[in-house]
Each structure stands twice: as C-alpha cells, then as structure tokens.
Amino acid sequence: MKSATTTDHDMIKNWVEDREGKPSIVKASEKSDNGILRIDFPGYSGGDSLEAISWDKFFDIFDKEGLAFLYQDERESGEKSNFNKFILRDQNQ
C-alpha cells in the first residue's frame, strides 16, 4: 500500500471525483467552527452523519485548518483505492 500526500486543490478534487466522492463535513462537528472534513463516497455509511458542501467551502476549511490530503491511488491488488485521510501539514514533513 503506497500512499502520497498533497495540498494541491486540483489534484485532490480530481482524485475524489474520479472515485465519485463528494466534499463533506461531519454534521454537528464541535471540533472547530469550520467542521470536520470528510469525503463521502457512494455506498458507504456516511450518508446520515455527513453534510455535502461546495468545493470552495471545502478548500477554505482545508487551508484554514492547515491540512494536507493523505491518499492511496491503488490497493495492492491493483484495484482503485478510496483510502484517504486529512492530516496536519506539519505531520507531512
């Protein structure tokens, strides 16, 4: 499982949309005023706990929180992977 990290908005958007994901936040997030970012993929359990947001709002929160996007393109089997995680940019160094 090889993963990579990026802060490039276009790369993140393309990766998510290629997997039919949508930018979202956790409903009633108390962690911050902005909400906790997530990617909502079709067929996964996030439907009731996630709220869809625009890409503009998503990247506004992403940048204000100082986040980086950790992701995996493919599983070891060669299948497309949906694995992703938001980490602090400081952890990326």
What residues have CB less than 8 Å from 49, skipping those under 6 apart? 26, 27
pLDDT score at 34: 66
- Percent of residues, the chain, with pLDDT higher than 90: 65
pLDDT digits (tens, 9 = 90+) for 19-63: 999 999 988 655 556 678 999 998 876 667 888 999 999 999 999
What residues have CB less than 8 Å from 33, skipping those under 6 apart? none
Instruction: Write the CA distances from 76 to 12, 18, 51, 88, integer angstroms.
Output: 21, 19, 31, 26
In which band, very low, low, confident or very high, does the pLDDT at 85 lie, cut at 50, 70 and 90? very high
pLDDT score at 32: 56
Total-model pTM:
0.85
Q: Are 54 and 35 in contact (CB under 8 A)?
A: no
Rounded distance, CA 10 to CA 15, Å?
A: 9
pLDDT of 92 strictly over 80: no
